[in-house]
Structure 1
């Protein structure tokens, strides 16, 4: 099962333009996988960021597992009858959110009628 999503609605040959150039989606996906794997900066940065906020994980290897398999955990929710076992996992998502297209549709002739009715009420 895939827990990290990188531009899931795009093929590897699609192209994204950022401020500094054009990139194939496959290139961005590879870079994101590289950034989240067990030998790179993101798990390392997360380990120290969590530690700085008082969340102490055993070591960097444990932190790296957050991105892949997750860590065994138990949760106690308010109102629940007890602890629930499960996994805690970091998910990374790289998405493209299109801007809403501008609509240049003419107003409906009924819009004037609606405005007049609202003004009279």
Structure 2
């Protein structure tokens, strides 16, 4: 009986998860994002891999679509553009002399951020969740 109950619960969770994920990552609800890994890249040299906080990136970001801003522990930046399709939400802006693009996979919540300007290029990998 426990196996059947577990199987039914598994089927319910798997069948509801994509609907929930699409609902959470629709660009309407605030999101809490965590950076996990970062790359610091210079032309003609291999990228340096590291922990985002050590490279100067915040560990957590809060995306507020209603206020059109992204807030970290030290600063808040305006989102200058938002573009959505069935697969992802792409945010863009400009902060501390760098253009940035943040892409969120709508089915998984996986996040990628690129910063570029002058001689610097950074890439941050992470994930987002609803900040209910």
| Between structures 1 and 2, the one with greater helix share | 1
Question: What TM-score, normalized by structure 2, do the two folds share?
Answer: 0.30
**Greater relative contact order (CA < 8 Å, ≥ 6 in sequence):** 2
